[in-house]
Amino acid sequence: MATKTKDKATLATKGAPKGQKVLVATLTLYLEAGKATPAPPVGPALGQYGLNIAEFCKNYNAQTAKMQGYIVPAIVYVYSDRTYKFITKTPPTSSLLLKALNIESGSPQPNKTKVGKITKDKLLEIAKIKLPDLNTRNLETAVKIIAGQAKNMGIEVEL
């Protein structure tokens, strides 16, 4: 694996001016907030690019400390000089809905079997959290998007 990483970095920097950072890879990791460890999946994913895994875990845990209990996606940009930059996103809508209703999973047959009921107030609360990552700036539209996700999971929506 190490030779592949080296080859990718070499190929990425061939056409670039000296000293310039070149993006080698973009990774998306779904990790529990505040609990990233060098164990899989973090270690193997970042280790193959020669990144400092312990440093990433420390930075990720510090940045997501306030979101304990949620799965928080991190988009990691890996550069040819073995540095990285990462951005955390909001937790997935499905996990926010499940947590709001205190259930383990959605319905295997959403149109037939309902697993719970969610109020407009809870949808509004989730929409406020998700608004930065949705493709709308309108809160009412965001509520409709979240309601659609809830229906697809077998959650009855009270509007």
Q: What is the pLDDT of residue 144?
A: 93
Sign of torsion, CA 109 114 120 123? negative
Please tell us whether the domain made up of 2-88 is placed in CATH 3.30.1550.10.
yes
Q: Which residues contact 148 (CB under 8 A, 6 or more apart)?
A: none
pLDDT at residue 37 above 80?
A: yes
Write the class of the CATH domain 93-158: mainly alpha
133, 148 Cβ separation under 8 angstroms: no
What DSSP assignment string belongs to 30-91? EEETT---SSTTHHHHHHTTT--HHHHHHHHHHHTGGGTTSEEEEEEEEETTS-EEEEE-PP
What confidence score (pLDDT) does residue 2 get? 32
Same fold for the pair 2-88 and 93-158: no
Domain ranges of the chain: 2-88, 93-158
- pTM of this structure: 0.75
pLDDT in tens, 78-108: 999 999 999 999 999 999 999 999 888 888 8
Q: How many CB atoms lie within 10 A of CB 9?
A: 20
